[in-house]
Amino acid sequence: MKTNASHPVVGKFLNGRYKIVQVLNAGAFAQTYIAEDTWLIGNPQCVVKHLKPNGDHPKQLQVCKRLFTSEAEILKKLGKHDQIPQLLDSFEEHQGFYLVQELIIGESLVTELPISKNCKKRWSEIQCVELLQDVLGILEFVHSHGVVHCDLKPNNLIRRASDGKLVLIDFGVAYQIPSTQAKLRAIPIQFSIASVAIHGLGYIPAEQFSGQPYPCSDIYALGMIAIEALTGLNPMQLGIDSESGEVSWQQQVSVSNPMACVINHMVRYDFKERYQSATDVRVVLKNLAIKNQEQGVRKDELDNALIGESSSELKPLITPVDSESLNLSFYVRELAQSCLPKLPPIVSGVGAGMATSNALAISFGLYTLLSATPSNPGLDTLARAAQEYQAGNLEEAIALAQSVPLDSTAYQESLIAIQKWRQEWNTAATQYQAVEDAYNEGRWRDIFEEARKTPDVAAWQKKVEQFIEQVKPEIEAESETLLQKAYQLAAEKDFTGALALIRQIPPETATGAKIEPKLSEYTKKQQIRADSLLQEAYDLAAKRDFSGALKYLSQISDETPTYDKAQIKMVEYAQKQHFKEEVERQASLTRAVSESNLRFSEPFVRSSGEEMTLELNPGTQLTEVSPRSSFTAPSRR
């Protein structure tokens, strides 16, 4: 623990009750203190987490308050658990937010982990299994309350000095899985760069980094901690397999194949291929028999533990598998296949057949996956709900999806499905109404346009198709008329107009099936036409006929790549045309002034008989400008 007894806040009272006696950690965004509760007998110590804005910006205050409120709500929701610090109090004071929690005396797991692969402190498999079982028990409790920790790493696991148990701390970025009554759009959680920066990225899986954590995201983090304990390498030092994209770690340490299978299944890149709940991993570990020299397990004892003389002699935790009832999911088969080529010698003599496959699965701790996971009742319920939805029974579908238990591996998927179904249903109803309105108003082509926007829901698609079938004769006739008009415009080299007409023809019609070659042909000719117009504009500009050049440029379609270049030239030629007109105007005005000078150049006669010549000077504003010298024609493009 980082402590600082000389910090300026030591001795300060918070909320008039908690006296700070030690600073555990001090950062720009949060500080952690040990304080005495002066209102209780004996002044027991507690931990105070202080969230404070880093500046006066209102946004920072909002962020602090949101994090404070979220963490307080989650800790209250979790209640009391032996391996989670209990929330004792929470309050706001002087634009600061404070959480008061139970003080855990001990050291973080970081102090127990090896710091390099050459360190002799690297953990044994037995130690690793004990770590997994201990933390999985906490995660099982946390996840059952609809919470994902999202920041599981060695720093947030404290080995309690009093009993040696691990305690999970810091729920500052934990995520509450919405209940069926919550607003479904709250499912995804978005992490800003600032919030991601406070994590150890090596323990964060891809789906959590992209803003969608699941309970198996915590399982990934725990698997990475196990790898760190076994190899002596932190996650940032591990490589990634170039072919599979999975974490590459087994070459760094000698580990049994069964243990490697379990850990690899915890840290799969694709969250759908991981264990979906802490319970799944715990049961697999209970059934996992590992040949370990430290335990002194003899080969014959391990043989009996894994296989036995018959299925009835298996350990109590292992029950026979009805092979006919197995419906293996893809990821179970993949896991079994990845393990089978690495069978330990003790099972190499087992015969073939389903009984052998079951024994192998049990020997690798896969019994739970084979017998329970594939027949997941939550997934079965969700599948039935999807059938009801496609059949047009929205309320029945939602009711079934909402019946998926909170601790089911399909719970998160059920929430996403309900949200998606409601949105799709509303969209489908809106589109159906648009189709019906178009039908009543005789807008045949609009029927097809609106029908395309209808979501892929079987019941709604069937309703929409009824309108399409009724108007097919009319739309076919209209489509043929459009095609003939397009042919006519193309003959006149108006390929842009021809394309516009062809695109109005629904591709679902018989006429629409014939238009694809014409679309390609007219698109190419439209581009050729655009290039020709641009060249004509260049030619006229070279002759200083900018007005004519602009007329050609204005005919270039915005659907062609030439359009952007034409727009640039239009600006250029418009400026040159304006300058040309200004030069001509100045020249015309100068000529007019010269003619005036000639008319008034005869001498006036004074009364005294003296002659007086009146010289008219137009001034510098009317100085003649030579078009030839002041304007240069653009070079030919």
pLDDT tens digits for 464-480?
888 877 877 777 777 77
CATH assignment, 107-288: 1.10.510.10
pLDDT of residue 18: 95
Per residue in 404-459, pLDDT (tens digit) is 888 777 888 888 889 889 988 999 899 899 888 888 888 877 877 788 788 888 88
Percent of the chain clearing pLDDT 70 (strictly above): 72
Residue 413's H or E segment, with its range, is: helix 411-440
Burial of 396 from C-beta contacts in 10 A (0-12 / 13-18 / 19+): middle
CB 64 within 8 A of CB 84: no
Any idea which residue has 């996840």 for tokens?
Answer: 143
114, 184 Cβ separation under 8 angstroms: no
d(C-alpha 468, C-alpha 454), whole Å: 13
Rg of the chain over all Cα atoms, to the nearest angstrom: 40
Per DSSP, 157 falls in state: E
pLDDT at 622 (0 to 100): 33
What is the rounded CA–CA span in Å between residue 380 and residue 478? 48
Whether the Cβ atoms of residue 464 and residue 396 lie closer than 8 Å to each other: no
Q: Taken in order 379, 380, 385, 390, is the CA torsion positive or negative?
A: positive
Q: Average model confidence (pLDDT) for the chain?
A: 75
Helix (H, G, I), strand (E, B) or coil at 247: strand
Pick the catalytic residue: 37, 89, 134, 151?
Answer: 151
Domain limits of the chain?
13-103, 107-288, 298-374
For residues 141, 145, 146 and 151, what is the CA-based torsion angle, rounded to 10 degrees? -50
User: Is a pLDDT exceeding 80 seen at residue 162?
Assistant: yes
Q: How confident is the model at residue 626 (pLDDT cuts 50, 70, 90)?
A: very low
Percent of the chain with pLDDT over 90: 24
Confidence band for 376, pLDDT divided at 50, 70 and 90: low
The total of other beta-carbon atoms located within 10 Å of residue 196's CB is: 14
- Which tens digit of pLDDT belongs to each residue from 320-366? 333 333 333 333 333 333 343 333 332 333 333 333 333 333 333 33
Place of tokens 């997941």: 376
Q: 167 near 158, Cβ under 8 Å?
A: yes
For the chain, how many residues are written? 637
Per-residue pLDDT band at 462 (split at 50, 70, 90): confident
Name the residue among 53, 51, 55, 52 with its Cα closest to residue 71.
51
Q: For residues 625-631, give the mean pLDDT.
A: 41
Q: What is the pLDDT of residues 79-132, one digit of tens each?
A: 999 999 999 999 998 878 999 999 999 999 999 988 755 556 789 889 999 999
Nearest CA to 481 out of 451, 502, 495 is that of 502
For 254, the token pair is 């000698």
Name the pTM for this structure: 0.47
Cα atoms found within 13 Å of the Cα of residue 284, Cβ hemisphere only: 30
Report the 3 state secondary structure along 345-411.
Answer: HHHCCCCCCHHHHHHHHHHCCCHHHHHCHHHCHHHHHHHHHHHHHHCCCHHHHHHHHHCCCCCCCCH
In the residue annotation, 89 being an active-site residue is answered as no
Q: Which helix (H) or strand (E) holds 551?
A: helix 546-553
Residue listed under structure tokens 């720009």: 28
Per-residue pLDDT at 117: 53
The closest alpha carbon to 408, from 74, 168, 176, 146, belongs to: 146
Q: What is the CATH architecture assignment of 13-103?
A: 2-Layer Sandwich (3.30)
Report CA-CA distances (Å) from 39 to 13, 232, 308, 507. 12, 46, 62, 78
> Are 521 and 499 in contact, with CB atoms under 8 Å apart?
no
Q: What angle, 0 to 180 degrees and rounded to 10, lies between the N-to-C axes of helices 125-144 and 257-266?
A: 30
> Would you say the C-alpha torsion 248, 252, 257, 263 has a positive or negative sign?
negative
Instruction: State the angle between helix axes of 278-287 and 215-231 in degrees (0 to 180), rounded to the nearest 10.
Output: 40
- CA angle (541, 543, 549) in 5-degree steps: 30
Q: Is 447 helix (H, G, I), strand (E, B) or coil?
A: helix
Task: Give the whole-angstrom CA distance, residue 231 versus residue 253.
Answer: 6
**Which SS3 state, helix, strand or coil, does residue 147 take?**
strand
| pLDDT tens per residue across span 578-610 | 888 888 888 888 887 777 766 655 554 444 444
**In this predicted model, which residue has the larger pLDDT, 224 or 178?**
224
Instruction: Name, of 7-21, 59-73, 517-531, the range with top average pLDDT.
Output: 7-21
